[in-house]
Amino acid sequence: MKILGIWGSPRKGGNSDVLLDAFLKGAAQGGADVEKVALRELKITPCLEIYHCFKDGTCPIKDDMQPLYEKLLVADVVALASPIFFYGVSAQTKAMIDRTQAHWSKRYVLKQDFPGPERQGVLLCTGATKGKYLFVGARFTAKYFFDAINVTYAAEILVRGVDEKGAILGQPEVLARAEDLGRRLAGGEKFGPIKLKPLAV
């Protein structure tokens, strides 16, 4: 069981970092082979929209996204951790997601065989405020990211009201929930699928 954690905050030791670490700690305790990818340490160019991927499902931009494409294919569980920035995921997270257009193209344009959908996706998000719609943008982005890489949107932990670095440590019950989720996914438990209600505008 391979569990891949993708962490999209620029702030080391911040809230999504702590949350993902709790999740991965549980996953490791549950026996999974765990890997954490810190997007802040990678150079990932935003999608250039040249549609090369429509031809063969690959992206010609030679940067740190290339090894991630393979990791996204072989993971049994993909956990995406991001802070909320302006009601969406962080720019680091979004750049990585946009580049998975190459995987989307393999699935939907070229109709190639693709692993999944028994694989599972988890969204872990932290935000400062407490508004009802705080996670709407991130959840929709996650839904279509998970679809592009053919993992089922299985579970999510969305944490409101955490702003200062490490504020999430004041919510030990949330961290225990993240650990438990990691442990259960490592054990092969199935969750979801999470269905989102469309929002009319």
Ligand X SMILES: Cc1cc2nc3c(=O)[nH]c(=O)nc-3n(C[C@H](O)[C@H](O)[C@H](O)COP(=O)(O)O)c2cc1C
Please report, as ranges, the residues that interact with ligand X according to CB under 6 A: 9, 11, 14-17, 83-87, 126-129, 134, 162-163, 165
- Give the Cα separation of 181 and 191 in Å (integer): 10
Spatial neighbors of 86 by CB under 8 A, at least 6 apart, are none
Q: How far is the CB of 165 from ligand X (least distance, A)?
A: 6
Nearest residue to ligand X, scored by beta-carbon proximity: 14
- Give the Cα separation of 54 and 4 in Å (integer): 26
Q: How far is the CB of 29 from ligand X (least distance, A)?
A: 23
Which tokens hold the place of 57?
């499902």
DSSP E strands in 70-165: the ranges are 77-85, 88-89, 120-126, 152-159
Q: How far is the CB of 64 from ligand X (least distance, A)?
A: 20
Closer residue to ligand X (CB): 16 or 150: 16
Burial 44-62 (b: 16+ CB within 10 A, else e): beebeeeeebeeebebebe
- Give the Cα separation of 165 and 29 in Å (integer): 26
Closer residue to ligand X (CB): 10 or 60: 10
Q: How far is the CB of 110 from ligand X (least distance, A)?
A: 36
Helix or strand or coil: residue 26?
A: helix
Q: How far is the CB of 16 from ligand X (least distance, A)?
A: 3
Closer residue to ligand X (CB): 23 or 85: 85
Closer residue to ligand X (CB): 68 or 168: 168
- Give the Cα separation of 84 and 103 in Å (integer): 25
Closer residue to ligand X (CB): 15 or 101: 15
- Give the Cα separation of 73 and 114 in Å (integer): 8
Closer residue to ligand X (CB): 87 or 114: 87
Q: How far is the CB of 54 from ligand X (least distance, A)?
A: 33
